[in-house]
Each structure stands twice: as structure tokens, then as C-alpha cells.
Amino acid sequence: MSESKFNYDMLVIGSGPAGQKSAIQAAKAGQHVAIVELDSLFGGACVHRGTIPSKTLRENALRVKNMRQNAALADFKLGEDTEMVTLIDRLDEVLKSHDKYMRKQMDRNNVERIHGRASFVDNETIRITKVGGDTIDVHAKTIIIAAGSYPRTPDNIPIDHEHIFDSDSILSMLYLPSSLTVLGGGVIASEYATIFQALGVKVTMIDRYPTPLGFLDSDMTDTFVKAFNNMGGSWMGNQTVEKVYWDGVSEVVTECVDGTVIRSQKLLCAAGRLANVKGLQLENAGLILNDKGLISVDENLRTSVANIYAAGDVIGSPSLASASMEQGRRASCNALGISTGMMSQLIPAGIYSIPELSSVGLTEKQAREQYGNVIVGIASFEEVARGQISGNIEGMLKIVADPQGKKILGVMLVGEGSTEVVHIGHMAMLCNADVDIFVESTFNFPTLAEAYRIAALQILAKRSE
């Protein structure tokens, strides 16, 4: 095909974090770029159904929790008929400013936005079906698939978005429920379970694994479960759900294989997410999904078809907005031959539960498997003045160092502020700094960052042993 036949240099499918960054990067490199988005709203699930709405609710949940904790300052109780919309009251403003910012950025870079469903005709041709049924075929030299993901619905969970919700619809509940069952033990389940519990909802979290967030060390998840239980929540691990149904009157019934029955007013099913590739007709481009239902890519984010790249949730783990943005940017750079340097494997993970959790690098368990007798330093937020002042004493920070107690292999935190404080350790690791940097540097006082010094001092002490 001659170059004149191309409508665009690059066509990006999906306008979430990965798609946006792909498009902007390519446009900044002088390419003629379009983004196809099947939703009339720009920004993907992250903006409209996931990350931003849930974090807006979380801010209010934290306020409620703090007011309850400080009963001497304010005798606070949420009304029985509190509407959900009241609890995400700032969402409209947040979304509007985000939408305005994104649109401006796209316009400034001359990225065309197309509302429609994309499907492959061949590896260079995309058919776009508009809502009204009109179709157009566009040709692009490079195509980036950044179509995101949607909630997985197990066969035995009859989601009706009225009593039984998924993670996309949970925030559309009209009223704050009195009780909620959360199925799942992953990031989304943990975030919503603790947010609703902090709002005073009686939450029961059920999962087939023994602990939630199983990819973290057990001391972190134990602290998380303890904090969740202290708020009044119930964690039920090692449970297999057999059947879920609405009793037809007022409760959702969850029956487990061992005979346990849990009743709640509403239920959230957070059983993971699936790549949003339905309808893309990938086979027409010569692409096939891997056994996880994802699009496989190489280290350059290139698929098995030379001119097609993929980024974000469609390629699977880590499925974080932060990582998706960087993947999107890199996919464009790689397609255009722009040098990017190696993509760091050090991607921090942030879990916006209450309390927050965050980690970067190896867990203690992984480090022991790879390095043997690693040295670990732990600081409880109880030992840190800032933790005491703010009542944030449930948290802890852990540094995992190599057997010599020098190289930092991983940093993990649980407690409010974790998703910010982790970046100190993250930067130290990126600079290949030794554990000593935390002892030899001066931190503001009082800050949670001091926990780094306490944990590092422990490692130094163990080093001499």
C-alpha cells in the first residue's frame, strides 16, 4: 500500500491512560494521529468508572473515618438515607476538569477523536462503526490497541446492577447500603471493601485464598486485615462461593461450598477484569489471543503483527493506570523508532484501600527465594512521631535488603500515605543507592518518611551481626 493511502500515521484504539499517552507521544513526534473510543466519554474506565470515582469516594470515606475516630471533636454519624451521590459530591468537578484538561491536550496536539467501535478489516485497516450504524474504513500505518478491560462475571453470580453489582456499577447505587458482601480478594475488592467499611457499611469480604492481596507479604496483609477487622469488617478467606442470589425481598444471599451463608443488602463481585477485545476482530489482522485472553507483546510492546502494538490492560499485568501510561508512551516511541532507554521493571503498586498499601521491587518472600538470607528492617508507624500525631499508627514500612544488608531489593508499606511515601524508596532503588542512604540523609521531622531511617537502622544493626 502506498503511503498516500493512509488516513493516519497512527490509529489508537481506546482513550484510557495507555491510549492517551500513545496518541500524545506520536502527535508530539509529528505524526497524524486519531483515537477511536467506543464510549462517548473520553478517558476510559479508569476515569469514569474506576480509579477516579473510587478515589473520590475514598476521600470522603477517610473524612468520615477520621471524624468517627475523633469523637471528642465531632459526634458524627452518617444519615440512614445517605445517597451515594452525596458521598462522591466532588466527582462532577473532578471529572469536568479532567475531561477539559484531556480534551485540550488532544486538541493542542491535533489528535483527532472518533466516537465509534473499532474492528480490524486487515492489519492496516480499521472499520469504525458509529452509534447510528454508519461505518467508515480508515487506514493507518501503525495501530496501537489500548482498549482496556471490563469486569469479569463468573457464571454463578447473576449481576443485575440493582442488588448485585460489579466494580463498574457499584458506585451507581442510589443509597449507601447497610451491609455489603464483597466477593474477591484482589486490589479492587480490597479497596471497595475497606472504603465502604470506613463509611459504616457492614462489609464481609469473601475469597477462595487465605489472605487478601496475596501478592504481598503476609505481615502486610495481616496488618491490612487487622485494620479492616478493627473498623468492623469481616474477612472470610478459604471460602468457595457456590451460589449468589437475591432473596426477592431485601437481601442478597451468598452460599459457600462449606455451608456458610452470608446475607447482605447488596453485593459487589470483584472477580478480576478481562481484556476488552470483544468485537475488535483481531483475527482479521492476523492476531490471536493468548491463553489468558490477552494480547501478547514483546519487550517493545509489539504484537505478533509488525505494525500493531498493544498497551495497558489488554496485555495484562500489572494493569495499573501508571504502568499503562508508560506502556502507551513507549509503544508509540518504539513504533516510531524513538529511543526510550530500558523500561524500568521497578513499577510501584499502589492499593487505595483504607489503610493504603504500596510496594516496589521484591517482596520479602520473593527476595528470600532469589537471594537466600536477605536482611529485613521494619518500622511501625507507632514508632514515628508523625504516625502518633495523626493517629496513623496501624501502618508499617518494610525494607528488604540483600544478604549483605546493602542493596535495597524491595520496599513495602501499609498505612495512610503509603502510596506517596513509597516513592522515596522507589527513587533510592532507581539510583542504586545502598540502604545507608536512609541513615545518612536528613528527613523532615515529624514525617512518615522517618520510618525509612528506623527500618534502615535495623538493617545496619543486623548487618554487623
Determine how many CB atoms are found less than 10 A away from the CB of residue 147.
30
Q: Residue 162 interacts with other proteins (CB under 8 A)?
A: yes
Q: How many CA atoms lie within 13 A of 414 on its CB side?
A: 23
Among 105, 179, 296, 366, binds other proteins (CB under 8 A): 179
Question: Among the candidate windows 16-24, 130-138, 291-299, 454-462, which touches other proteins by CB under 8 A?
Answer: 130-138
Q: Examine residue 137 and tell whether it contacts other proteins (CB under 8 A).
A: no
Residue whose CB is less far from other proteins, 30 or 133: 133
**Among positions 115, 127, 139, 152, the unique one binding other proteins when judged by CB under 8 A:** 115
Q: Does 112 bind other proteins (CB under 8 A)?
A: no
Please, which residue, 81 or 465, has the CB nearer to other proteins?
Answer: 81
**Using the rule CB under 8 A, is 79 a contact of other proteins?**
no
Which letter does DSSP use for residue 428 in this model? Answer: H
Q: Which of 12, 16, 25, 166 binds other proteins (CB under 8 A)?
A: 166
Instruction: Rank residues 116 and 377 by Cβ distance to other proteins and give the closer one.
Output: 116
Please state, in angstroms and rounded to a whole number, the distance separating the CA atoms of residues 250 and 199.
21
> How far is residue 451's CA from residue 454's CA, in Å, rounded to a whole number?
5
Nearest approach in angstroms of CB 93 to other proteins is: 9
Residue 50 is given by DSSP the state S
Segment 254-273, which members bind other proteins (CB under 8 A)? 265
Q: At what angle do helices 418-430 and 450-464 cross, to 10 degrees?
A: 50
Of 105, 109, 123, 169, the residue at the interface with other proteins (CB under 8 A) is: 169
Closest separation in Å from C-beta 79 to other proteins: 12
Element (H, E) at 57: helix 51-69
User: Hey, which residues does 398 pair with through a beta bridge?
Assistant: 378, 412
153 binds other proteins (CB under 8 A): no
How is the chain split among helix, strand and coil, in percent rounded to 5? 35, 25, 40
Distance (Å, whole) CA 198 – CA 186: 18
Nearest to 358 by CA among 367, 368, 348: 348
Site for other proteins in 406-445 (CB under 8 A): none
For the chain, the straight-line distance linking the first and the last C-alpha, in angstroms and rounded, comes to 69
For binding to other proteins (CB under 8 A), which residues are involved?
38-41, 80-81, 83, 85-86, 88, 91-92, 95-96, 99, 115, 117, 129, 131-133, 160-162, 166, 168-169, 172-175, 177-179, 246, 248-250, 265
